[in-house]
Structure 1
Amino acid sequence: MLTHLTIALDMMGGDYGPRSSIPAAVKAVNQNPHLSLILCGNHQVISEGLEKLDSLHHPRLKIKHCNEVVTNSCEPAQALRRKKDASMRIALDLVKSGEAQACVSSGNTGALFLIATHVLKVLPGVKRPALISAVPTETKDPVYLLDLGANVYCEPQTLFQFGVMGSVVASQRLGIERPRVSLLNIGSEDIKGHEGIKQAAELMRKCNQLNYIGYSEGSDIFTGKAHVIVCDGFVGNVALKTCEGIAKLIMHKFTKALKKHVFYKALAFLLRPVIKKMYKRVNPDQYNGASLVGLRGIVVKSHGNASNKAFLAAIEEAAREVERQIPEKIQAVFEQINAAAVLPSSSKIE
């Protein structure tokens, strides 16, 4: 474990802004004695929030005043050009300068993707960064799904690179040397899917650094068939939000049913430990924190509607990535692939 790490937080982004990020920041530093946080946003708002939690003078919480905010309705290109004093931009600048080792934001996804790519740049050999997050499965291990919305359309080469980056993340997080990698498709047979998917599959089959196991269907996401499932950002974003919606629906229906009858209420009391364990297993908050992988720095995207607990999970995810040196490990694998002449010459590291 690192003796000290610093993470920059975009305190103003998302649906709840400081109402969510301030309690999460306070809890994060109280839980981790090695962690310092730079809170980027409106100084007065953040100070008032910290004061309410008796944490205004916490030695490992530093406020970085910012005059602007990247709103959810802000066009990404406009945010890049005109919002240079926004909390999101300043947090990313702190990572670039080395003052922080990672950035966490629940703000505008498109703007975060564009600004992070502009400020931090992609790793050598990487065409485009991708958003990756864990999704619970029937097994003890989650599945890592990418891309989750950063790239709506992806070329075969890009999907291949997502597979490589996803494999590195899963390997580090799960402690597995060769995670199973799959492509999300409309069927498991080799003849299924459009030409781009087939070309991506061929690239993955030829890569010795990947343990490619073929196609997965939507119903395979939760089975544990693969440790990594690759798709374009449009499909991935829909799939992730569908997963979250299903989890919430099941728990809502289950809770509602238990309240209908006195016998069910008594049963619920007896089964409370089991119910809590099950809810903890599927609760989307614990999986909050999609990592923007492929950059020369660590960026974690929290849900826009993240609760205090969910934003805390994103901070914890950023800390884990710093400790595991995810960008450096991704770069090392791409260098191995280049050396094996798997990538086309146009994608080789200069």
Structure 2
Amino acid sequence: MLRIGVDAMGGDFAPEAAVRGAVMALEQMGGDSRIVLFGDRDRILEVLAQEGCPADRFDIVPTTEVIEMGDHPAKAFQQKADSSITVGFGHLAKGLIDGFASAGSTGAMMVGSMAVIRPIEGVVRPAISSVVPTIAGRPALLLDVGLNVDCKPEVLLQYGLIGSVYAEAVLGIERPRVAVLNIGEEETKGNAQSKATYELMKEQDRFRFAGNIEGSHLFSGKVADVIVCDGFVGNTVLKMAEGLYRINSVLGCNDNPFWRSMNYELVGGTPVLGVNATVIIGHGCSTPLAIKSMICSTRQCVKADLTGRLQHAFNH
């Protein structure tokens, strides 16, 4: 039985959005999975009653504290020992749950990932990624999208391997193509970082290197399935895409499969890649649909044994 932990107190609209999203996720959980809710038991039960959902469909771990968005992540993680995030990571570290997801404090989630779960041996810096749609009809993976704004070429090389493992295990892409996001496709283009990364990637044999990719081909699906960049560039690209989605929504131009798949609610969250357990971080403004997607993404990563595959990739 897979046990998917969810921070019921995380997000701008918690616990209502988190609990309602968990109720929505029940339909896709299947008999092999169980959702474990961490948070204020009385408030969780209240929302479940409003939804007409029996409480025994979930496991509830009662907590009395919440790490707020304005709290100092590291201090709050330690000082609020009975917070939903801190207790959730404790259960994850002990193997009492198989994955943990939250739309709460990103900083606290990273503290838990790095200090409690810890990076996989051999990983210099974990990354966070984003699945992006393509007009080819299958998703691509962009990483890093904000965790590490400055990256050495050796770190970007590791992102190529991490992204390749994720794309194959979770997205189902056989022998995914890995490319470096650059200002041109030619090998000689780019800054010192991208040139050095290109040299490292073309010499390795751990993944299928496809060269450089320009931003204009990012959503085409024709060049690459995994796009590697530092967190500064990746976060800029991601927020530009989110902004275009919002503009198209206002203009009423999102009625096609490509733009609909740009909706963050359908992705739900991003995994912390390169740590020793499945951790998913969602948007703070997550709606119930986004929470549902986040929970389903967590289950998908667990079922694909993404952590085990990454551990194997870095230790063999």
TM-score by length of 2: 0.93
Whether 1:120 aligns to 2:117 is yes
Output the amino acid matched with 2:294: A
Aligned residue number for residue 212 of structure 1: 209
Aligned residue number for residue 279 of structure 2: 299
Whether 1:319 aligns to 2:316 is no
Describe the superposition over 1:124-179 as per-residue Cα deviations: whole angstroms up to 9, x where unpaired: 11112111121111111111011121222222111111111100010123333310
Query: Displacement of 1:296 after TM fit?
Result: 0.7
Aligned residue number for residue 240 of structure 2: 242
Indicate conservation of the 8 Å contact 2:113/2:119, yes or no.
no
Query: Displacement of 1:321 after TM fit?
Result: 0.8
Describe the superposition over 1:27-48 as per-residue Cα deviations: whole angstroms up to 9, x where unpaired: 2124323221111111221111
Aligned residue number for residue 344 of structure 1: none
Whether 1:81 aligns to 2:61 is no
Q: Secondary structure at the residue paired with 1:58?
A: helix
Q: 5 Å matches for 1:44-123?
A: 44-59=42-57, 61-123=58-120
Q: 5 Å matches for 1:166-245?
A: 166-224=163-221, 225-245=223-243
CA RMSD of aligned residues (A): 1.8
Percent identity for Structure 1 against Structure 2: 35
Partners in 2 of 1:276 and 1:137 — Cα distance? 12
Q: Mark the runs of 5 or more structure 2 residues left unpaired by the alignment.
A: none
Indicate conservation of the 8 Å contact 2:98/2:277, yes or no.
yes
Indicate conservation of the 8 Å contact 1:110/1:150, yes or no.
no
Output the amino acid matched with 2:297: E
Partners in 2 of 1:179 and 1:118 — Cα distance? 31
* Comparing 283-292 and 300-309, the one that deviates more: 283-292
Output the amino acid matched with 1:246: L
Partners in 2 of 1:277 and 1:217 — Cα distance? 23
Q: Mark the runs of 5 or more structure 1 residues left unpaired by the alignment.
A: 256-273, 337-350
Aligned residue number for residue 309 of structure 1: 289
Output the amino acid matched with 2:162: M
Q: Secondary structure at the residue paired with 1:37?
A: strand
* Comparing 309-318 and 282-291, the one that deviates more: 282-291
Q: How many residues align?
A: 314
Partners in 1 of 2:193 and 2:81 — Cα distance? 37
Deviating above 3 A after TM superposition, structure 1's stretches of 4 or more consecutive aligned residues are 274-282
Q: Secondary structure at the residue paired with 1:85?
A: coil
Partners in 1 of 2:308 and 2:184 — Cα distance? 35
Partners in 1 of 2:66 and 2:130 — Cα distance? 25
Q: Secondary structure at the residue paired with 1:322?
A: helix
Aligned residue number for residue 24 of structure 1: 21
Output the amino acid matched with 2:93: K
Query: Displacement of 1:244 after TM fit?
Result: 1.6
Describe the superposition over 1:60-85 as per-residue Cα deviations: whole angstroms up to 9, x where unpaired: x1211222212222222223332322
TM-score by length of 1: 0.85
Partners in 2 of 1:176 and 1:318 — Cα distance? 18
Judged with a 3 Å threshold, the aligned counterparts in structure 2 of structure 1 residues 275 and 194 are, in CA distance, closer, same or farther, namely closer
Query: Displacement of 1:311 after TM fit?
Result: 1.1
Judged with a 3 Å threshold, the aligned counterparts in structure 2 of structure 1 residues 112 and 192 are, in CA distance, closer, same or farther, namely same
Q: Which residue, out of 34, 37, 40, partners 1:36?
A: 34
Partners in 1 of 2:258 and 2:180 — Cα distance? 28
Describe the superposition over 1:280-316 as per-residue Cα deviations: whole angstroms up to 9, x where unpaired: 4333321222111111100011111111111111111
Q: Secondary structure at the residue paired with 1:299?
A: strand
Whether 1:155 aligns to 2:152 is yes
Partners in 2 of 1:277 and 1:221 — Cα distance? 17
Higher alpha-carbon Rg? 1
Partners in 1 of 2:160 and 2:73 — Cα distance? 26
